Amino acid sequence: MEKETKEKVTRLLLTRHGQTIGNVQQVLQGQMQGELTEEGREQARQVRDRLRNEPIDAFFSSDLKRSVDTCTIIAEPHHLPVQTTPLLRERDWGDFTGELIPELKDKVWPDNVETIEQMKARAMEFVDMLKREYPGGTVLAVGHGIINKALQAAFYGKPMHEVLKMANAEVREIIL
């Protein structure tokens, strides 16, 4: 009788950073560092308190300040370091970076905006790393609205428009 081998799955708690000053001002932050508002810090504390007793093996964050700050707050009770990675960075908006979102309506996109395919490839590189390094483990990762959407779209094989936008400090569980 052949022995069945069961692959160990990795549980990803995909999280969006807390509210930032740029979110409030409707700035297209992209790969700008960003600063959490007091509400954004409170959102992170609420996630921290909700997940305080959750067994989490590793914490990852985009290397942008708004995500690192969110992840650091959430990781406090677990006494684990926050590992940063550019794979979770927000979409590079090129020449649109720093612009006010309402003013971009009907503008022609510059050639230096990161493509959806590039974001999905970056996101799947992160997923593959987690599956390789944390089989059977639980990882909390703090990213951004668009890259988190790209990760879910790539993982589930869906177009981006079929993935619901994540709210600030929202957590979604994905079984890898």
**Is 78 among the catalytic positions?**
no
Give the predicted TM-score (pTM) of the model: 0.91
Q: Please check the confidence at residue 2 and state whether its pLDDT lies above 80.
A: no
From 4, 54, 79, 90, the catalytic residue: 90
Q: Cβ neighbours of residue 137 under 8 Å, at least 6 residues apart?
A: 10, 11, 57, 58
- Provide the CATH number for the domain around residue 72: 3.40.50.1240
Residue 74 belongs to a domain: yes
**Is 161 among the catalytic positions?**
no
Q: Residue 14 in contact with residue 169, Cβ under 8 Å?
A: no
Radius of gyration of the chain (CA): 17
Mark out the alpha helices in 18-165 (DSSP H runs): 21-25, 38-51, 65-75, 116-133, 145-156
Residue 95 belongs to a domain: yes
Residue 5 belongs to a domain: no
Q: Cβ neighbours of residue 135 under 8 Å, at least 6 residues apart?
A: 7, 8, 9, 10
Average pLDDT over residues 134-159: 97
Residue 20 belongs to a domain: yes
Residue 2 belongs to a domain: no
From 2, 4, 7, 17, the catalytic residue: 17
- pLDDT tens figures, 65-123: 999 999 999 999 999 999 999 999 999 999 999 999 999 999 999 999 999 999 999 99
Domain of residue 29, residue span: 11-175
Q: For position 6, what pLDDT does the model report?
A: 64
Q: Please check the confidence at residue 19 and state whether its pLDDT lies above 80.
A: yes
